Structure 1
Amino acid sequence: MKTLFSNYLNTFKGLSKEIWWLALITLINRAGTMVIPFLSLYLKEDLNFSVSDVGWVMSAFGLGSVAGSWLGGKLTDTLGYYKVMVRSLLSTGILFICLQYLNTFASICIGIFIVMLVADTFRPAMFVALNAYSKPENKIRSLTLIRLAINLGFSAGPAIGGLIITGLSYSGLFWVDGITCILATLVMIQVLHPKKAKVLDDIKNENPDSAYSDRAFLTFLIAMMLFGIVFLQYFSTITIYYKDVHTLSELQIGLILGLNGFLIFVFEMPLIKWLENTKYTKLGLMFFGAVLTGLSLLILNLTSWSGVLIIGMLLMTLGEMIAFPFSNAFAVDRAKKGNQGEYMALYSMSFSIAHIFGHNAGLQMTAFLGFDNTWYIITGIAAICAIILFILKEKLKATKVRS
């Protein structure tokens, strides 16, 4: 056991101090994202929105995310990642607190759009900061550490969120989310000020390539958008499925979602360390992750036994652990060819576009086709994603480009 624990700690060695601070800031911020998994339930249960209305609100969520990611990329290339991150975190905290006071369909749609517009300017800036503060040979593990921070926050967030809803009300979630964003801003100002931070990989291109002309990267983004549509069912449609079909309470739902974050926190870093030393390419591993994530929803149709929800969550978690770190690393590697903000904005936008269609499509399908048919269709989307990744892997292999 001692050797196992020692080997686990060794997977974290060599990462820069700035990466650890960035991970802490991300952890503080993400610990308050308990609103997001419960947003569809909040709209349906507390504000009495129809499932169809919830779907359109989630599309506004996605539209704001797309606009924010694009704007974040532009601002990062002009103002720099630090200014964008600080202003985004602080403004998001204030906006989340204000969001709870909106209660009509139109105001909620506008409010969600504005919150995500501001919040997601953070993402491209964070990826560029991570690229700057990490040694080239540590990029994938640095990305994985940030994901560990995100998932540790997600692990605690839903469980705590379920307790807050049970003991207080949904409004408490907005206060916690807002306050944690503000706290993350204060920590960042203290520990990651440009004068204090050491940049380890500052890439400057005199004649940068446009991300829009990188066909391989654009194909990769299509696959990531499809993967996002599948993955995001776990943050909107699945929570309603848990409650309506399997009659789980908010606390039970929070615990199942929290299991995902806990497993990632414990197992992802050793898994990524091991996979880095195998012969598999980044795209090959993403292909496997997409297959597992699709299967996690398909198996829900095989039995009415509630234990299948745990099995599905385990499959999705494994798929996520494999797909996301290597997709992040693939995008960061391609970004070295051009304007990093532009590349990472497009990468973030692929998931933001998934927010536009994923939540709404899943919720609309469940309303008109039922959950079983919805899971079959979403599994089909996962299959298309996997096929695109496989074809891209073979194409890059044929052109001697290491993915």
Structure 2
Amino acid sequence: MLKRAFQKYINNFRGFSREIWILALITFINRAGTMVLPFLSKYLKEDLHFSYGEVGWIMVSFGLGSMLGSWLGGKLSDKIGFYKIMIFSLFTSGVMFFFLQYITSFWALCFSMFTIMVVADMFRPAMFVSLGAYAKPENRTRALTLVRLAINLGFAAGPALGGLLIMSVGYKGLFWVDGATCIIAIVIFWLKVKEKKKSAYTDKAHPGEVLTHSVFKDAPFLIFLMICLISGIMFFQLFTTIPLYHKEQFNLSELQTGLLLTFNGILVFFIEMPLVSYIERNKINKLRAINLGGLLMAISMFLLLINNWVGILIIMMLFMTFAEMFAFPFSNSFAMSRAPKGHEGRYMAIFTMTYSMAHILSAKTGMTIIDNFGYQANWFFMGTLGLISVLLGLWVYKLINNKKSNNV
């Protein structure tokens, strides 16, 4: 029975090209080395002694840079190709991370975080477009899931190793590891993957979803972006306010916070691919999966209102993990499925920019609420936002179904 279950699990990984596996490998290397992000708010608060407000503004700079980088990455992917953008982005940002550790003043950090994220986040839309070139259309959602799996497997290792690194050599070690892994990952990509012109991707299973030639005239997509914005605001609490909450409310160490995030990564590694395969085999509507993810995320925020039992942090992480497994793979796929021929880069740029905006709002909103009203008010606010995203999801589902009915 165990052998059969293992075989079924392995079958979920069949049918990918060599290039997709290499993309997954470099994503794993890069993400395992990305140890700065989970501890950035703690580093700014505890090591550099910035106030909540200053930490919030530095994270805003981080998010603004991410937005501009996502837009540039998508636009340039359509203009000069994803391959050159990916190599430039990871190599240059790797070098920049080496120097970031030496910058400690407030304004210099705001400028530096903005600049490094402009370069680093050019990678994301370019990588999404590369999947359109190297993955077969029928494998696209699974290919996205494989890359997410690599991200989460790397993320399972990264925070725990990062916590150990902080406790042994301090925060400075994170910047060296982060920079080195960016460079190692992109050198492997450059040596093993040859440039290929992107092919236009159309979601054959859901042809009615490719509707328009302008994202700004695509009403369901614009509402969907609001859903992504809200889910991003909630999810990014894991990297902004929640690590501080662990320390201040429950006195957890960096290693313990890292292990909680590792728990998230391990669950995603074992469960997400079979879950996505099951949803696709049974032709469950991807919008319904996204909506269920939004509901679970809202519940995870409300669970943090229980602040007198440390075990609630594990239960909250369990709900958050299943929420992201339902929401994020199908959000990527839905966004690409609506991109008209020749506009894949621009659609994915706007999609990734939404998460960059979420990072800005997540950090600044969360820190401001906590500073003025406390942690409990923040969890209630985030959970309520999640319920709003569920209502928006029902609206998008209705709009698309009405459009399909009118086209029949």
Answer yes or no: same fold by TM over 0.5.
Answer: yes
Residue 208 of structure 2 corresponds to: none
Structure 2 SS opposite 1:245: helix
Q: Which amino acid aligns with 1:240?
A: L
Q: 1:352 aligns with which of 345, 352, 356?
A: 356
Q: Is the 8 A contact 2:42 2:244 kept in 1?
A: yes
Distance 1:186 1:340 in 2: 26
Instruction: Give yes or no for contact 1:135–1:201 (8 Å, CA) kept in 2.
Output: no
Q: Displacement, 1:395? A: 1.3
Contact 1:93 1:178 in 2 (8 A): yes
In structure 2, the partner of 1:112 is 113
- Identity percentage of aligned residues: 49
Q: Deviations over 1:365-398 (max 9, x none)?
A: 1111111111000001111111111110111112
Once the two structures are superposed, the pairs formed by residues 241-320 of structure 1 within 5 Å of their partners are 241-320=245-324
Number of matched pairs? 396
| Amino acid of the structure 2 residue aligned with 1:226 | I
Report deviation, 1:277: 2.2
* Aligned match of 1:90: 91
- For 1:4-403, list aligned pairs within 5 A: 4-194=5-195, 201-202=199-200, 209-400=213-404
Distance 1:130 1:248 in 2: 39
Tell me how far apart the structure 1 counterparts of residues 233 and 42 of structure 2 sit (CA, whole Å): 19
Listed as ranges, the gaps of 5+ residues in structure 2 are 203-211
CA distance in 1, matches of 2:82, 2:199: 14
Residues 14 and 201 (structure 1), Cα distance of their counterparts in 2 relative to 1, 3 Å cut: farther
Rounded to whole Å, the distance in 1 between the matches of 2:303 and 2:143 is 33
Could you list the per-position Cα deviations for residues 214-237 of structure 1 after superposition, in whole angstroms to 9, with x for gaps in the alignment? 222111111111111111101110
Separation (CA, whole Å) in 2 of partners of 1:321 and 1:305? 26
State the SS of the aligned residue for 2:252: coil
Per-residue CA deviation, residues 265-319 of structure 1 (Å, 9 max, x unaligned), is 1111011111112343111110100010111110111351100000000000000
Q: Distance in 1 between matches of 2:272 and 2:198?
A: 24
Distance 2:36 2:375 in 1: 24
Instruction: Give me the CA root mean square deviation.
Output: 1.5
Residue identity matched to 1:61 = F
Q: Is the 8 A contact 2:287 2:397 kept in 1?
A: yes
Give the Å deviation of 1:2: 0.8
Which 4+ residue blocks in structure 1 deviate beyond 6 angstroms?
none
What code does the residue aligned with 1:242 have? H
Tell whether the 8 Å contact from 1:210 to 1:338 is kept in structure 2 after alignment.
no
Give the TM-score normalised by the residue count of structure 1.
Answer: 0.96
CA distance in structure 2 between the aligned counterparts of 1:202 and 1:397, rounded to whole angstroms: 25
Distance of aligned partners of 1:203 and 1:148 in 2 relative to their CA distance in 1, 3 Å threshold: closer
Residues 318-337 of structure 1: per-residue CA shift (max 9 Å, x gap): 00011000000001111244
In structure 1, C-alpha distance between the alignment counterparts of 2:399 and 2:186, rounded to whole Å = 43
**Cα distance, 1:338 vs structure 2:** 4.7
- Checking the alignment, whether the CA contact within 8 Å between 1:209 and 1:338 is kept in structure 2 is no
CA shift for structure 1 position 192: 1.2
Unaligned runs of 5+ in 1: none
Change (3 A) 1:136 1:168: same
TM-aligned CA deviation for residue 200 of structure 1? 8.4
Post-superposition CA distance 1:59-97 (Å, at most 9, x none): 111100011001111111111000000000000101111
Is contact 1:134-1:200 (8 Å) kept? no
Contact kept, 8 Å, 1:135 with 1:200, in 2: the verdict is no
Residues 80/228 of structure 1: CA separation in 2 closer, same or farther (3 Å cut): same
Q: What is the rounded CA distance, in whole Å, between the counterparts of 1:216 and 1:315 in structure 2?
A: 27
Q: Deviation per CA, 1:129-177, whole angstroms, max 9, x where unpaired?
A: 0111111111110000000000111110000000000011100000000
CA distance in structure 2 between the partners assigned to 1:114 and 1:343 by the alignment = 23
* Amino acid of the structure 1 residue aligned with 2:114: F
CA distance in 2, matches of 1:213, 1:23: 34
The letter of the residue matching 2:151 is I
Measure the CA separation in 1 of the matches of 2:379 and 2:200: 44
Amino acid at match of 1:119: A
2:66–2:356 contact (8 Å) kept in structure 1: yes
Q: Is contact 2:54-2:106 (8 Å) kept?
A: yes
SS of aligned partner of 2:20: helix
SS, match of residue 33 in structure 2? coil
